Structure 1
């Protein structure tokens, strides 16, 4: 795993680094510490990452400027901050976890384990950040009808027929989104409320018909569970 720590207090950064090495062990491929906002933005632009550990106050600079960029990337972000009142907003932007300062090793390990277990969040994400012409656009989750996996990327299909590309994989978005989205196929997540019905075609092939007229495949192994849950 490739990890970036963005923290302006050297003492805390060293503590996070020590705990990270201890928790991840041999799975840690690289660990970098940066203490300024601009350096972090440049590093993210030029280096592949799996996880960002981010403080929200960087020498008086607002870490949310970096957070908005980070959540549009392929990796997950864990915020480590003393500003507990910003936790809800951070979750709404799409962070994997918010670790309040002061913290211990167990709390940080819990945040790492959330990524490894691929469990869903209890706090609802309200936006998905996507890159648009050198800027970041926050897409309200309410506008997302379904999501299609496209290799390491995903395609967001939105109300009004719009479509956006997201850098996160389907698996990572599934972790962030609330249970209102269901994995109905290896390549599709769909908002449950948008499903009009399930169509059974010849050869035991299943399709979900959406309210907007779209049809998306339903995995054979998922059909019985989905039918029992929705209909």
Structure 2
């Protein structure tokens, strides 16, 4: 596992590094950068799994790189004293916001959200950032009908019929999405507002009819849970 820390205060960076090593295994590779420029260069040239980002870096605003970070395949945890920016950070799709000053217990809670599979609670994500050519575009969560796994990418199927590719996996997005989204199949996450009714087919196959008349598969192990939610 490769983790990038972007923190300009050397003392705090070393503290984060120590706590991170205490939580993860010995195979962990840590990279520490003290500026936005160095952090961006590392992101462009290294395949990282997790970013630990401060929002105030020698007077520079960490939000300047946040959009490009959350559009990528890795997860982002903010570690910052600027708690007034927490709502905006969650809106952009960060996994957690750890306020300074922090202790090892609080940082470990953030790491647990990263390592625990499945849906997380209390997320306030409002946008998903997607890369298109050299630009970053924010997609409003409210515009997403469903999300489909597409190899190493995911497809965001939007209410206007467009499809946007996202670098994060279904498993990663599942941690960020609000409660209005549900994993209904190994390859699909559905916005509940788009569901019309369950369809039971011959041979024990299940499907979900959407309000726009699209049909998505429903996993056998998910059928009972979804049926109870629709009652």
> 2:68 is matched with which residue?
69
Q: Which sections of structure 1, spanning at least 5 residues, go unmatched?
A: none
SS at structure 2 position matched to 1:222: helix
Q: Is the 8 A contact 1:68 1:93 kept in 2?
A: yes
Q: CA RMSD in A?
A: 1.0
Alignment of 1:1-231 (within 5 A): 1-28=1-28, 30-118=29-117, 119-231=119-231
1:53 Cα deviation after fit: 0.2
The answer to whether the Cα contact below 8 Å between 2:123 and 2:177 also exists between their aligned partners in 1 is no
Structure 1 residues 142-180: Cα deviation after superposition (integer angstroms, max 9, x where no partner): 000000011221100001101000000000100100111
Unaligned runs of 5+ in 2: none
Superposed structure 1 runs of 4+ greater than 3 Å apart: none
TM-score, scaled to structure 1:
0.97
Cα distance in 1, alignment partners of residues 40 and 135 from structure 2: 13
Q: Is the 8 A contact 1:74 1:169 kept in 2?
A: yes
- Note the C-alpha offset of 1:39: 1.6
Provide Cα deviations, 1:2-27, integer angstroms capped at 9, x if missing partner: 10000011111111111111111325
Measured in 2, the distance between the counterparts of 1:98 and 1:24 equals 19
Q: Deviations over 1:67-107 (max 9, x none)?
A: 11110010110000000000011011111100000011111
- Equivalent-residue separation in structure 2 for 1:27 and 1:230 (angstroms): 44
Q: Residues of 2 paired with 1:14 and 1:222: CA distance?
A: 44
CA contact (8 A) 1:206 1:217 kept: yes
Provide the rounded CA distance (Å) in 1 between the counterparts of 2:93 and 2:194: 22
Pairwise CA distance, 1:45:
1.3
Aligned residues: 230
In the TM superposition, residue 210 of structure 1 has moved relative to its aligned partner by 0.7
Counterpart contact for 1:206–1:218, Cα < 8 Å: yes
Secondary structure at the counterpart of residue 95 of structure 1: coil
> TM-score, normalised to structure 2's length?
0.97
Counterpart Cα distance in 2 of 1:185 and 1:201:
16
